[in-house]
Chain A
Amino acid sequence: MNPQLNKNGELQHLLTIEGLPREIILSILDIAAPFTEVAEREVKKVPLLRGKSVFNLFFENSTRTRTTFEIAAKRLSADVINLNINTSSTAKGETLIDTVDNLAAMQADMFIVRHAASGAPYLIAQHLRATGADHIHVVNAGDGRHAHPTQGLLDMYTIRHYKKDFTGLTVAIVGDVLHSRVARSQIHALTTLGVPEVRVIAPKTLLPTEVERMGVRVFNDMREGLRGVDVVMMLRLQNERMNGALLASPQEYFKYYGLTPDKLEQAKPDAIVMHPGPMNRGVEIDSAVADGGQAVILPQVTFGIAVRMAVMSMLAGN
Chain B
Amino acid sequence: MRIQIINGHAVDAANGLDRRADIFVADGRIVGVGKAPDGFAAEATIDAAGCVVCPGLVDLAARLREPGFEYKATLESEMAAAACGGVTSLACPPDTDPPLDEPGLVEMLKYRARQPGFAHVYPVGALTLGLAGARLTEMAELAEAGCMAFGQAGTVIVDTQVLLRAMQYAATFGFPVWLQAKDPWLGKDGVAHDGEVASRLGLTGIPVIAETVALGTLINLARQTGARLHVTRVSSAAAVDMIAAARAEGLAISCDVAVHHLHLCDRDIGYFNPHARLDPPLRSERDRDALRAGLANGTVDALCSDHTPVDDDGKQAPFAEAESGATALELLLPLTLKWAAEAKVPLAKALARITADPARILGIEAGTLGVGRPADICVFDPVAPVLMTRDRLKSQGKNTPFLGLELTGEVRYTLISGHLAWSAPL
Q: Which residues of A contact B (CB under 8 A)?
A: 3, 18, 89, 95-97, 115, 117-120, 122-123, 126-127, 143-147, 181, 184, 208-211, 213-214
Do B199 and A214 have beta carbons less than 8 Å apart?
yes
Does any Cβ of A come within 8 Å of B196's Cβ?
A: yes
CA distance A117 to B316 in the complex (A): 13
* 4 further interface pairs, Cβ-Cβ under 8 Å (given A95-B313, A146-B202, A184-B200): A118-B320, A209-B199, A213-B196, A214-B199
B284-330 contacts to A, CB under 8 A, are 313, 316-321
Least CB distance, B270 to chain A, in whole angstroms: 9
Residue of B nearest to A180 (CB): B202
By a CB distance below 8 angstroms, the chain A residues around B319 are: 117-119
CA distance A209 to B196 in the complex (A): 7
Residue of B199, B205, B317, B320 with highest tally of chain A CB at under 10 A: B199
Do A117 and B320 have beta carbons less than 8 Å apart?
yes
By a CB distance below 8 angstroms, the chain B residues around A95 are: 313, 316-317
Do A117 and B200 have beta carbons less than 8 Å apart?
no
Does any Cβ of A come within 8 Å of B28's Cβ?
A: no
Least CB distance, A29 to chain B, in whole angstroms: 24
Least CB distance, B145 to chain A, in whole angstroms: 34
Pairs of residues from A and B, 10 with the lowest C-beta to C-beta distance, nearest first: A145-B202, A119-B272, A146-B202, A117-B318, A208-B199, A118-B202, A120-B318, A210-B196, A213-B196, A119-B319
28 pairs from A and B in contact (CB 8 Å cutoff): A18-B200, A96-B317, A117-B319, A118-B202, A118-B272, A118-B318, A119-B201, A119-B271, A119-B318, A119-B320, A122-B272, A127-B316, A143-B202, A143-B318, A144-B202, A144-B320, A145-B203, A146-B203, A184-B202, A208-B199, A209-B195, A210-B195, A210-B196, A210-B199, A213-B199, A214-B196, A214-B199, A214-B200
Residue of A nearest to B274 (CB): A123
CA distance A96 to B199 in the complex (A): 24
Residue of B nearest to A19 (CB): B271
By a CB distance below 8 angstroms, the chain A residues around B199 are: 208-211, 213-214
Contact of A123 among B200, B202, B313, B317 (CB under 8 A): B317
Q: Which residues of B contact A (CB under 8 A)?
A: 194-196, 198-205, 207, 271-272, 274, 313, 316-321
Do B195 and A123 have beta carbons less than 8 Å apart?
no
Q: A3-B271, A144-B202 are in contact. Are A97 and B316 (CB under 8 A)?
A: yes
CA distance A96 to B321 in the complex (A): 11
Contact of A209 among B198, B202, B320 (CB under 8 A): B198
Least CB distance, B212 to chain A, in whole angstroms: 15
Residue of A nearest to B312 (CB): A97
By a CB distance below 8 angstroms, the chain A residues around B203 are: 118-119, 144-146
Q: How many A-B residue pairs have CB under 8 A?
A: 75
Least CB distance, A173 to chain B, in whole angstroms: 14
Residue of B203, B272, B319, B320 with highest tally of chain A CB at under 10 A: B272
Residue of B nearest to A121 (CB): B318
CA distance A96 to B272 in the complex (A): 15
Residue of B nearest to A181 (CB): B202
CA distance A289 to B279 in the complex (A): 47
Residue of A nearest to B191 (CB): A118
Do A147 and B202 have beta carbons less than 8 Å apart?
yes
CA distance A291 to B316 in the complex (A): 46
CA distance A129 to B148 in the complex (A): 47
Least CB distance, B196 to chain A, in whole angstroms: 4
CA distance A145 to B200 in the complex (A): 9
Do A118 and B317 have beta carbons less than 8 Å apart?
no
Contact of A89 among B200, B271, B274, B321 (CB under 8 A): B321
Residue of B nearest to A214 (CB): B200
CA distance A184 to B202 in the complex (A): 8
CA distance A115 to B202 in the complex (A): 13
CA distance A127 to B271 in the complex (A): 13
Do A209 and B317 have beta carbons less than 8 Å apart?
no
Least CB distance, A298 to chain B, in whole angstroms: 28
By a CB distance below 8 angstroms, the chain B residues around A209 are: 194-196, 198-199, 205, 207
Residue of A nearest to B321 (CB): A117
Least CB distance, A134 to chain B, in whole angstroms: 15
Least CB distance, A263 to chain B, in whole angstroms: 26
By a CB distance below 8 angstroms, the chain A residues around B195 are: 209-210
CA distance A127 to B317 in the complex (A): 10
Q: A95-B313, A123-B318, A209-B207 are in contact. Are A118 and B271 (CB under 8 A)?
A: no
CA distance A126 to B271 in the complex (A): 10
CA distance A122 to B321 in the complex (A): 13
CA distance A143 to B318 in the complex (A): 10
CA distance A115 to B203 in the complex (A): 13
By a CB distance below 8 angstroms, the chain A residues around B207 are: 209
